[in-house]
Chain A
């Protein structure tokens, strides 16, 4: 079969991208960029616009003119249209809609009393996923784009593998330990709770089985893995998957809102999202929604995600044994075969990249946390190119502002960190820096106060260029993957949420979300 569909759209989208990049380069769009405040993104606008636009123009032209023959070339090139389609959506959302929404949020603030764009986290990741959902439900994914949409999972996996390059050994060890404990308790706890509850209410074993996997481990993925094992009926599958999809979409919006309202830090939020959100794709979505300009949260959340994937085979085996015990005539399972067939090989890729970067080829060891910390006078007071001395210590007006706004800070650790910053005119430790970044993220101080804190942060944090590049690339891979995954969520399937799965799944899901929130707030500290 020939996969390439003759369409002018790939070419058109390519021309749009190239034209946009050219307009940015020539300065014709300077006014727009200034209005949207996106000047720091012009670099990627040019690179990505020319790269993807150029490829789309070439391939689009070729597909329009040449006769395509069946084969590998046809098959793989047929994905270009869809990839361009997703990238164009991502461009529009990240470079246009995201900053525009922020503007509208600020403009509507006096009328509404709050900034809806920032409270609801209407940033490019959330809007990208929503764009995917809207496209598939309202317009349908165009036929020529279907093959490219099927690359979204590759994008996510590549993102996860690349993420491996950004962990330090200590970080991985501690996050790994934390995630095994939290996931272990909450996954096994919620699977057990559903099984117990289902038995008490005399629900069919098949329904309880598929629901417990879905609510317990990683949402739809687990339900998909468990359904054949427990021989679920068609309606049971439909109710369960509908419930999980509905719950997942709600969580993706609600978690970041709650996280910000509680002033959670990157690590606490990542741990909470990684434990409490049912569906694994939405964990990444929520982490990026919480912190769209960095990936500290994503790093934490993804470790939890990987731990969940590793728990999946265990749950499938548990359910299989449980089901065999309760149903006569159920097929016995081969434990070894389940373990091998369910093992996610891309996790090995993550480890390979981690090992590779531990050799220090990308940046010295202490750079891995994203940016390394240095507050010695050597970097605080520097000479710029013209030989003039630049002092990065906070100045008196900044300090007075912080002093004045200090009372808005309520938590003791945050108060103490702020006090130390004021006394020393610079951040004194990584812990203080992380604590105060939490203050910035929770928007406790005024805009000016936050600007001062950000200045103090920039003065002591120095990012290795290679690590910064990795971070940007990872964010793009995840954006690509998540927009594509958004296109897999259909309203028709969400609407099937119902029956006992909705009741039990909703309640157990809620218990898990709230329970993990409490545990995380009590046990997890902001620094690792």
Chain B
């Protein structure tokens, strides 16, 4: 199916595992929160 085309991740995500993606999403959110906290 769709995965065949990708070494890593699936058609919907570039990350190998879901935990990884969730952590990246959390990291992005925290960075944004920090930037908002500091500069807005």
The answer on direct contact between A and B (beta carbons under 8 Å) is yes
Known: A150-B11, A153-B13. A470 touches B36 (CB 8 A): yes
Please tell me if the beta carbons of A158 and B25 are within 8 angstroms of each other in the complex.
yes
Q: Which of A345, A353, A362 contacts B29 (CB 8 A)?
A: A353
Known: A162-B32, A466-B40, A470-B36. A349 touches B11 (CB 8 A): no
A55: interface (CB < 8 Å):
no
Please tell me if the beta carbons of B36 and A466 are within 8 angstroms of each other in the complex.
yes
Known: A157-B21, A345-B18, A349-B22. A150 touches B13 (CB 8 A): yes
Q: Which of A147, A157, A361, A469 contacts B14 (CB 8 A)?
A: A147
Q: Which of B11, B15, B24, B33 contacts A488 (CB 8 A)?
A: B11
Question: Nearest chain B CB to A364's CB is how many angstroms away?
Answer: 14
Known: A356-B33, A361-B37, A362-B36. A76 touches B25 (CB 8 A): no
Q: Which of B11, B12, B19, B36 contacts A345 (CB 8 A)?
A: B19
Q: Which of A79, A152, A465 contacts B12 (CB 8 A)?
A: A152
Complex-state Cα separation, A346 to B18, whole angstroms: 9
Complex-state Cα separation, A466 to B35, whole angstroms: 10
Interface of B is mostly: helix
Interface string of B1-40 (1 = CB under 8 A from A): 0000111111111110011011111101110110011001
Which of B6, B29, B30 is packed against the most chain A CB atoms within 10 Å?
B29
Known: A157-B22, A345-B19. A353 touches B14 (CB 8 A): no
Please tell me if the beta carbons of A154 and B13 are within 8 angstroms of each other in the complex.
yes
CB contacts (< 8 Å) of A469 on chain B: these are: 36, 40
CB contacts (< 8 Å) of B6 on chain A: these are: 150
CB contacts (< 8 Å) of A48 on chain B: these are: none
Please tell me if the beta carbons of B33 and A150 are within 8 angstroms of each other in the complex.
no
A473: interface (CB < 8 Å):
yes
Complex-state Cα separation, A401 to B11, whole angstroms: 55
A102: interface (CB < 8 Å):
no
Known: A488-B11, A488-B12. A154 touches B36 (CB 8 A): no
Complex-state Cα separation, A428 to B35, whole angstroms: 36
Please tell me if the beta carbons of A165 and B18 are within 8 angstroms of each other in the complex.
no
Complex-state Cα separation, A161 to B15, whole angstroms: 18
Known: A152-B12, A473-B32. A352 touches B37 (CB 8 A): no
Please tell me if the beta carbons of B24 and A154 are within 8 angstroms of each other in the complex.
yes
Complex-state Cα separation, A276 to B26, whole angstroms: 29
A75: interface (CB < 8 Å):
yes
CB contacts (< 8 Å) of A75 on chain B: these are: 8, 14
A328: interface (CB < 8 Å):
no
CB contacts (< 8 Å) of A146 on chain B: these are: 5
Known: A345-B19, A345-B22, A466-B40. A353 touches B12 (CB 8 A): no
Complex-state Cα separation, A346 to B24, whole angstroms: 10
Please tell me if the beta carbons of B13 and A465 are within 8 angstroms of each other in the complex.
no
Question: Nearest chain B CB to A442's CB is how many angstroms away?
Answer: 33
Q: Which of B19, B25, B30, B37 contacts A154 (CB 8 A)?
A: B25
Closest Cβ neighbor of B23 among chain A residues: A345
Closest Cβ neighbor of A349 among chain B residues: B26
Question: Nearest chain B CB to A71's CB is how many angstroms away?
Answer: 12
Please tell me if the beta carbons of B36 and A150 are within 8 angstroms of each other in the complex.
no
CB contacts (< 8 Å) of A488 on chain B: these are: 11-12
Please tell me if the beta carbons of B33 and A76 are within 8 angstroms of each other in the complex.
no
Please tell me if the beta carbons of A165 and B22 are within 8 angstroms of each other in the complex.
no
Known: A76-B14, A154-B25. A162 touches B9 (CB 8 A): no
A66: interface (CB < 8 Å):
no
Please tell me if the beta carbons of B37 and A362 are within 8 angstroms of each other in the complex.
yes
CB-contacts of A441-468 with B (<8 A) = 465-466
Question: Nearest chain B CB to A200's CB is how many angstroms away?
Answer: 34
Closest Cβ neighbor of A164 among chain B residues: B29
CB-contacts of A136-165 with B (<8 A) = 146-147, 150-154, 157-158, 161-162, 165
A1: interface (CB < 8 Å):
yes
Please tell me if the beta carbons of A158 and B14 are within 8 angstroms of each other in the complex.
no
Please tell me if the beta carbons of B22 and A353 are within 8 angstroms of each other in the complex.
no
Closest Cβ neighbor of B29 among chain A residues: A161
Complex-state Cα separation, A77 to B30, whole angstroms: 22
Question: Nearest chain B CB to A55's CB is how many angstroms away?
Answer: 15
Q: Which of B12, B22, B26 contacts A150 (CB 8 A)?
A: B12
Complex-state Cα separation, A352 to B40, whole angstroms: 21
Interface string of A468-488 (1 = CB under 8 A from B): 011001000000000000001
Interface string of A149-190 (1 = CB under 8 A from B): 011111001100110010000000000000000000000000
Question: Nearest chain B CB to A339's CB is how many angstroms away?
Answer: 15
Closest Cβ neighbor of B8 among chain A residues: A75
CB contacts (< 8 Å) of A348 on chain B: these are: 22, 26
Complex-state Cα separation, A375 to B25, whole angstroms: 39
| Top 8 closest pairs, chain A to chain B, by CB | A345-B22, A157-B25, A349-B26, A161-B29, A346-B22, A158-B25, A469-B40, A150-B14
Q: A154-B21, A488-B12 are in contact. List 14 more A-B contacts (CB 8 A).
A: A75-B8, A75-B14, A150-B10, A150-B12, A150-B13, A150-B14, A153-B12, A158-B28, A165-B33, A344-B22, A345-B18, A353-B33, A356-B33, A362-B36
